[in-house]
Amino acid sequence: MNWITRIKSAAERIKTAVRKRASKAEIAASKYISCHGVPVEKKIIEQNNFVCPECNFHHNQSPEQRFNMWFGENNWKKINTPKVADSDPYRWTDTKKYTDRLKNAKKITGQDNAILSCEARINNIDVVVSAVNFSYIGGSISCDEGENVLASVQTAIDKKCPYIFVSASGGMRMMTNMLSLMQMTRMTIAINELKKNNLPYIVVITSPSTGGLQASISSTGDFCIGERKATMAFAGKRIVQATENTELPENFQTVEWQMEKGQVDMVLDRKDIAPTIGTLLSIILKKHKSESIEENNSLIENSAQETKEAS
């Protein structure tokens, strides 16, 4: 066997050994998903609110799926928000036209923009909730998303109820350039108006929450709740490591690490987030004030009676 034959033989063996990487379409069509090296049926994960029952990995959940989980189907009302007149002001084109990306994102998610907002009730408390869909161009924020947040905050102010924001974003949308960055200021001003009206603002961090959204309204909540093992950062870990030129901890930029640093108040499993928000709001808004007063009066009376008998 000459050297050319040996090289051809080796190449064939390598070609056979290396499996072809599955395409996005093939992954989407598969009945299985793997988050810990072992295939698990997608329907099992879906039935568990998109959390792996074996390794507790929290897969991405769309806003509609989250709202159905928190409030139940048909128990929440979508907020219709304004749309900007020109969604592609810079006539952006990279590997494809931005207008084509928008059409594809709308087809995949069924949403007009990356944020879905609704009116609902938690613990018999009226709330307004906005959630970012990461499947919509990486959950990036542009003009329509900014209008969505502004309209939702105004709804909360008008209804005099708390506002909840569920973050899952890669940051501001580069296809709309400065107009996208302007939304950071506009959304932050809206949140400040909410706070001027003494209304609670709760942020839920899901994975990933990064970039300009994290640098604006995702970091200004009265309470910040992290979903287990979610990424919470501004710049990526590799960029920070290259800049700092030092080894970073394994859990760097996770919500668990951020809680140690004081950026996050608590880290919860997905199933525990809505009940915890309900409890927090009940305490903040003193919804059970009358029951507490009655209990306290009863305790005082019993204590006084015991003291009298003892004397």
| 43 lies in the same domain as 182 | no
pLDDT at 15: 62
pTM of the full predicted structure? Answer: 0.83
**Of 213, 209, 239, the residue nearest 225 (C-alpha):** 209
Rounded to whole angstroms, how far apart are CA atoms 184 and 139? 14
| 141 lies in the same domain as 40 | no
| 167 lies in the same domain as 117 | yes
Tokens of 115: 């944020």
Count of other CB atoms within 10 angstroms of residue 93 = 13
**Of 282, 225, 292, 221, the residue nearest 255 (C-alpha):** 225
Please give the residue range of the domain that contains residue 53: 25-59
74 belongs to a structural domain: yes
Determine which helix (DSSP H) or strand (DSSP E) holds 279, and give its type and residue range.
helix 270-284
| 44 lies in the same domain as 89 | no
| 33 lies in the same domain as 68 | no
| Strand 163-169 with 223-227, pairing | unpaired
Domain count, the chain: 2
pLDDT at 4: 66
| 45 lies in the same domain as 100 | no
107 belongs to a structural domain: yes
Residues 6 or more apart whose CB falls under 8 angstroms from that of 87 comprise: 99, 102, 142, 143, 144
pLDDT at 34: 77
**Of 115, 212, 211, 207, the residue nearest 164 (C-alpha):** 115
304 belongs to a structural domain: no
pLDDT at 304: 42
pLDDT 10s digit of each residue in the chain, 311 long?
A: 566 677 667 667 666 655 566 666 666 667 788 787 778 888 888 888 778 887 777 888 999 999 999 999 989 999 999 999 999 999 999 999 999 999 999 999 999 999 999 999 999 999 999 999 999 999 999 999 999 999 999 999 999 999 999 999 999 999 999 999 999 999 999 999 999 999 999 999 999 999 999 999 999 999 999 999 999 998 877 888 888 888 888 889 999 999 999 999 999 999 999 999 999 999 999 875 544 445 544 544 554 444 334 33
